[in-house]
Amino acid sequence: MNKRQDQTIALITGASAGIGLELTRKLLSEDWQVIALNRSDFPADDEIIQTALKLGKLRIYKTTDLADYSSLIRALEEIKGKEQRIDILFNNAGGSFPELSYSKQGREQHYELLTVVPYIILMELMELLKRGQLKTVINTSSSAQKWTKEFTIEILERPKTFRKLLGPYAASKLALSLWTQAIAPQLAKEDIRVRSVDPGGNNTLRKGKPSGLPLLVTMLMKLFFSPPTHGASKLYEGALGGHRDKTGVFLVNGRVAEIKFQDQARNVLQSVNAIYEHEFLLHR
């Protein structure tokens, strides 16, 4: 077996900026191969990225919008047609929106992008994960979920009110951790482990991009939050650190943390699976 076949392969969504970019750079520097599923381009002046592209160690698949099912299907079909396996899937793409908005499918945007789409990507790439060696899925979650006071599927899909960071964003990250927990026994039958990980506070502000953060948080982020390399390290540790044999857990600062509304975990899983089976698959 040649060296390229020996290299560990990670697929990272949202790999071109912020935490995803730093995680990509970290893995490439450790001689991994990286499959990137992105909406935007990588920095043209990044030497590590550009060298990896020339060597074929970094392979890019583009979507116009991960929450646009037609575009997502095209990218996922291309990945399945060209890639041989995935060792670790990092469901990292995300972000926060400055106001209440809805996807093309009619669901609140945070819920669609942060909760539903990671499930779709996992389901679609399951066969590639089964062929991998590490068989690990890391879902980027957030400790903001602890501020969620009311939680139902109806609120996730069509919120009655909107608050930056602590509203639909926090609830959608909670829902992500809940389905992660609920699906773990099912994936274990395929020897696949899945965990949700809080990358901590990172300064991921991007010039010219509207922020879905409260003004005070934005100011604090600029002054005190760690660079995205911090979050990348948290995701890396979540995948390969001391909890690598655990599944279904939510990791915060390297420790297993409690998830609120655990009685809703099965409902969330059933909801995202119904969307996958009755909406996404019909787009083919």
Domain borders along the chain are 3-283
Q: Model confidence over 114-171: pLDDT tens digits?
A: 999 999 999 999 999 999 999 999 999 999 999 999 999 999 999 999 999 899 999 9
Q: What would the two tokens of residue 93 be? A: 């793409």
Please tell me the class of the 3-283 domain. alpha beta
| Residue appearing with tokens 């819920």 | 111
User: What SS3 string covers 192-211?
Assistant: CEEEEEECCCECCCCCCCCC
Q: What confidence score (pLDDT) does residue 283 get?
A: 83
Report yes or no: 8 and 88 within 8 Å, Cβ to Cβ.
Answer: yes
Q: What confidence score (pLDDT) does residue 250 get?
A: 98
- The overall average pLDDT reported for the chain is 92
- As a whole number of angstroms, the distance between CA 135 and CA 141 comes to 19
* Residue 148: partners with Cβ closer than 8 Å, 6 or more residues away: 166, 170, 171, 174, 260, 261
- As a whole number of angstroms, the distance between CA 10 and CA 32 comes to 7
- The amino acid at 201: G
Statement: residue 27 has pLDDT above 90: yes
Q: What confidence score (pLDDT) does residue 200 get?
A: 86
Q: How far is CA 15 from CA 9, 60, 127, 142, 231, in A?
A: 14, 9, 22, 18, 13
In eight-state DSSP terms, residue 144 is: G
37 φ, ψ to 5°? -110, 105
Q: Model confidence over 68-118: pLDDT tens digits?
A: 999 999 999 999 999 999 999 999 998 889 999 999 999 999 999 999 999
Q: What confidence score (pLDDT) does residue 227 get?
A: 75
Please tell me the pTM assigned to this model: 0.94
